[in-house]
Amino acid sequence: MSASPFASVAVEDLSSEQAKQELLFLAQEISLHDKLYHGNDAPVISDGEYDALRKRNEAVEKQFPELILENSPSKNVGAAPVSGFSKVTHARPMLSLGNAFADEDVTDFLDRVRRFLGLTDNEPVEVMAEPKIDGLSASLRYENRKFVQGATRGDGAVGEDITQNLMTLDDIPKTLPDDAPDVIEIRGEVYMAREDFFSLNKSQEEKGEKIFANPRNAAAGSLRQLDSKITASRPLRFFGYALGDTSEQIAPSVSEMRERFQSWGFQLNEPAKLCRNEQEILDHYKLIGETRADLPFDIDGVVYKVNRVDWQDRLGMVSRAPRWAIAHKFPAEQAETTLREITIQVGRTGALTPVAELEPITVGGVVVSRATLHNEDELGRKDIRVGDHVIIQRAGDVIPQVVRVNLEKRPADSVVYEFPHTCPECGSHAERPEGEAVRRCTGGLICPAQVVERLKHFISRDALDIDGLGAKNVEAFWKDGLIKSPADIFRLEEKKQELRDREGWGAQSVKKLFDAIANRQEVELNRFIYGLGIRQIGQATAKLLAKNYLSLENLRKNIEMAKDEESDAFTNLKNIDQIGPSMIQDLIDFFTDDNNQALLDDLASQIIIKEYEVKETSSPVTGQTVVFTGTLVEMTRSEAKARAEELGAKVSGSVSKKTDYVVVGADAGSKEKKARDLGLNILSEEEWIALISGATKNENTKSTLETENNNDIASSQNSEDQGQKDLFSD
């Protein structure tokens, strides 16, 4: 399993330093698997293993909310779309789902819904329970009741245009009846029925062509063909069960929405049931689990959705998932095989990752032969040795986790695996700092593995996205001395003849590569920052830095000045929401390093790094920093924060001179006092609602605000509200 670095330590027993390192590890690990699964249709870990990573990440974040990373997996979904199809920006994000693994998780989900909405403990919450189809998510856009565009989920914000391929599916209506809105997006899952999958593989085998591992891979591979004729020849189907962008609301509940979809000609994912209490939900989960093998398609769980659409609107979403839905996953499958060898891979940050090389074995119809072992703590905790018989498990269609060792079959001559203290690539010392789970090569730029991995990262899809270069070409070009640094990529044309003389490289392929490189000589600032491969700086953090500093020159200058912890530059960096101390140190270390300074200067001479463009909105609080404190009446604190972020505001947990608004409820506490001491703009809940509704305060309101800044009146007000208590108080 993709285990966390401190899997042997209970979350509540983690030190702050251990939690920080584990969250960093989990963010990198989950991001990698998101790209492999959503972007490449080539996952290398099991669904169960992936779910365990996310579950551990959520638990650590809950225990240590102050350490949540800007690039946290809880804020992201999927992976950026790959090349080959044009890009489609979703009008509304296509989100992933949070996961439930046990009955208690379902109870917690319902409790969270009630708390967020301010419902009583006994107030019923109707939930639609639907089978979770194991396929490829797609969104269908209809304008004037005609199907005009289809897209994959991609990274949730941008997907791939697969309109022509979706046009070939009989399950997708090409027109909608007159009662449909002028604009509507129907979302659902493209899948392949199990019987059709077996028939396709038989046909593929007879023709000597690729055999698919499972129905999900077959569906994804068939749908993402550049030639729609190939897609048309494959037995793909579609379930429509969710609503995206729409010009008008079509139903007040999920149950009625499904009825509308069915009346328009869409197939529904059945068996689904409207459940009125927790016991009905769990009974339906059990029923689907017992009849799973008899269904004509693969599923990996049951999805629960709050039935009322108005409640869904209030609940909203976090960056990765809606608050009003959750996926209850099925248990994983298990098998036993032999561990033949443990190898070590070196990543771009120098991390040494052990990999289990397994005797190939079929689990649920898929042959698996490798699994990551993560770090030496994981090896030690499970006491995994070469030659061991290991129990592996999978819950989907990919390589499984190593669950445990079958000690009864352990060879008599087995020895404890000794984790190397030197880098297998360059021989440099591999250091493990105190409190960290990962051992890293100290070779830096002299380590070929790190250099090559950094180059691969720089040209990856989420960074500069240079089509046609690819990981294998980067390795080959580096080995042969054609590129040694990122800037060398943009000087490759100087070695045109050397490229043409290489095997497999003709004039046309060389021209195509140069065109792709030329197309990326102007790059967005956030992509460039991410492409630098700075530790802890993922896509979300890179975008946050770009948004705050706007240009590379300004970013470099301010990070340089931030070396002085007494400087305004350091304070400004620290005040950026979710930029923590360790991240600040990594930024300072990178931007003040002489080698990196030279690398940045070299890159700046070859490419144009565009300034970050701030999108304009009509919201009166866009770009403003807001702090909520005290007990709110009209909405819960969580609901207020979510609404502010939707309007483009920055929600902070602390008050500073950079704060624009402090919204105070009853029993506000120290934050209100600090805001008054700083002379900040303090709003009541009613005034905040009026502000975000576009209302303007009259002179009487302004006068009241000025009067309230008087400390005596503030003290009196606090005394009157003393009996009220905020569950989220300071």
* Per-residue pLDDT tens over the stretch 251-266: 999 999 999 999 999 9
548-555: average pLDDT: 93
Final residue belonging to a domain, choices 301, 329, 357: 329
551-563: average pLDDT: 95
pTM attached to this predicted model: 0.52
| Residue at 198 is within a domain | yes
Does residue 145 come out as left (phi exceeding 0), alpha (psi in the -120 to 50 range) or beta?
left
Distance CA(276)–CA(123), nearest Å, equals 11
| Domain co-membership, 160 together with 276 | yes
Residue 303 has pLDDT above 80, yes or no: yes
Instruction: Record the tokens describing residue 217, joined without a space.
Output: 């891979």
Percent of the chain with pLDDT over 90: 45
123-133: average pLDDT: 95
Instruction: Record the tokens describing residue 409, joined without a space.
Output: 């079959």
205 vs 486 pLDDT, higher one: 486
81 vs 48 pLDDT, higher one: 48
Range of the domain at 664: 625-720
- CATH number of 682's domain: 3.40.50.10190
pLDDT score recorded for residue 496: 87
Q: Is 697 a catalytic residue?
A: no
| Domain co-membership, 586 together with 647 | no
| Active-site option among 20, 35, 75, 132 | 132
Distance CA(431)–CA(410), nearest Å, equals 31
pLDDT score recorded for residue 17: 81
pLDDT score recorded for residue 366: 64
Q: Is residue 716 very low, low, confident or very high in pLDDT (cuts 50, 70, 90)? A: very low
Residue 299 has pLDDT above 50, yes or no: yes
- CA 680 to mean position of chain CA atoms: 35
| Under 8 Å between Cβ of 422 and 406 | no
Residue 338 carries which DSSP code? E
CA dihedral 284, 285, 286, 290 (to 10 degrees): 100
| Under 8 Å between Cβ of 490 and 477 | no
| Domain co-membership, 274 together with 316 | yes
| Residue at 396 is within a domain | no
DSSP string, 362-412: EETTEEEEEEE--SHHHHHHHT--TT-EEEEEESSSS--EEEEE-GGG--T
Residue 173 has pLDDT above 60, yes or no: yes
Q: Which residues contact 95 (CB under 8 A, 6 or more apart)?
A: 77, 156, 317, 320, 321, 322
| Under 8 Å between Cβ of 675 and 682 | yes
| Domain co-membership, 118 together with 228 | yes
327-348: average pLDDT: 89
| Domain co-membership, 246 together with 106 | yes
| Residue at 676 is within a domain | yes
| Under 8 Å between Cβ of 72 and 27 | yes
pLDDT in tens, 488-508: 999 999 998 889 888 888 888
Q: For residue 610, what is the enclosing H or E element? A: strand 608-610
pLDDT score recorded for residue 365: 54
Distance CA(31)–CA(538), nearest Å, equals 9
Q: Is residue 290 very low, low, confident or very high in pLDDT (cuts 50, 70, 90)? A: confident
Count the helices and strands in the chain (H runs, E runs): 27, 24
| Under 8 Å between Cβ of 580 and 19 | no
Residue 72 has pLDDT above 70, yes or no: yes
3-state secondary structure of 341: strand
Residue 462 has pLDDT above 70, yes or no: yes
74 vs 385 pLDDT, higher one: 385
Q: Which residues contact 471 (CB under 8 A, 6 or more apart)?
A: 456
65-79: average pLDDT: 71
428 vs 643 pLDDT, higher one: 428
| Residue at 618 is within a domain | no
pLDDT in tens, 34-56: 766 655 555 666 666 777 788 78
| Residue at 208 is within a domain | yes
| Domain co-membership, 601 together with 629 | no
103-122: average pLDDT: 91
| Domain co-membership, 644 together with 553 | no
Domain count, the chain: 3
Percent of the chain with pLDDT over 70: 87
Q: Is residue 705 very low, low, confident or very high in pLDDT (cuts 50, 70, 90)? A: very low
Among 52, 144, 704, residue whose Cα is nearest residue 329: 52
| Domain co-membership, 660 together with 589 | no
